[in-house]
Amino acid sequence: MDSTNATALWDRVVGTQPDPTLWLVVATGVVALAAVLPRRVWLVTRNAITIAHEGGHGLVALLSGRRLDGIRLHSDTSGLTVSRGRPTGLGMILTAAAGYTAPSLLGLGGAWLLAAGHITALLWGATALLAALLVMVRNAFGVLTVVLTGAAFVLVSWLAGPAVQALFAYGVVWFMLLGGVRPAFELQAKRRHGRSGDSDADQLARLTNVPPVVWLLFFHVVSLCSLTGGGRWLLGL
């Protein structure tokens, strides 16, 4: 690739693109909501939230100095991230807290990028994160899920026109914001029926001596505040 093409590519990534009209932004939000609310649909689409959840654990584990051994994504939309390091301390606390908050915070960051007109940067950034995650996935279903998700971003980024890219990007961000809210409520329901097992909230309670219900409240606050703030950015309010 010569310098002219490289410069043009860089300008495309860091440049801004036109926003879709307000009614199209609202329409992508409605479609994302339809991918979150119906249970049968959610059983499929929740895999994308699991990718973000486990990716959040993995990323924070690395940033906090822990050794990431691998990530597994399962067909029942559960996942597991294994890291090595001190079993207690701030690094472990941040790693455990990153899972339920990651989808919503990714959605919030995506909304900020879209509000600034950086649609291409969002698509390419998401593709890079998925590629980095793929290296650490250790089971076949997980590899398939991440590859298919990454392929969708690559195809839209390279082959689709600006309008389709914008609709896809807004739909993805809406889905992260809306889909990031539901898992905490699901965990709350499981805890009410005694089926939460060794959840992230339980792990955090052992690490901090703070009751699991407080950590559950923390997950709710992060997801709902991200939805509120990200939604305002997407709608241009």
How many whole angstroms separate alpha carbon 53 and alpha carbon 78?
10
Determine the pLDDT at residue 2: 58
Name the pTM for this structure. Answer: 0.92
3-class secondary-structure state, position 73 = strand
Helical H segments across 64-181, by residue range:
90-115, 119-136, 140-159, 162-179
Return the structure tokens found at 123. 């698509």
In DSSP terms, 71 is beta-bridged to: 81, 137
Determine the pLDDT at residue 19: 78
Determine the pLDDT at residue 7: 59
Give the CA angle between residues 160, 131, 173 to the nearest 5°.
55
Mean pLDDT by 10 residues, the chain (237 residues): 56 67 95 96 96 96 94 94 91 96 97 94 95 95 96 92 93 98 94 80 94 96 98 93
Determine the pLDDT at residue 206: 94
DSSP string, 141-163: HHHHHHHHHHHHHHHHHHHS-HH
Determine the pLDDT at residue 148: 96
Determine the pLDDT at residue 60: 96
Determine the pLDDT at residue 10: 55
How many whole angstroms separate alpha carbon 147 and alpha carbon 144?
5
Give the CA angle between residues 84, 85, 89 to the nearest 5°.
135
Question: Alpha-carbon torsion 149, 124, 137, 90, what sign?
Answer: negative
Domain ranges of the chain: 18-235
Q: Indicate the Cα dihedral angle 175, 177, 179, 185, nearest 10°.
A: -170
Please count the helices (runs of H) and the strands (runs of E) in the chain.
Answer: 10, 2
Determine the pLDDT at residue 4: 59
How many whole angstroms separate alpha carbon 220 and alpha carbon 224?
6
Return the structure tokens found at 159. 């082959």
Determine the pLDDT at residue 160: 86
What letter does residue 137 receive in the DSSP assignment?
B
8 Å CB contact between 56 and 102: yes
Cα distance from N-terminal residue to C-terminal residue, the chain: 41
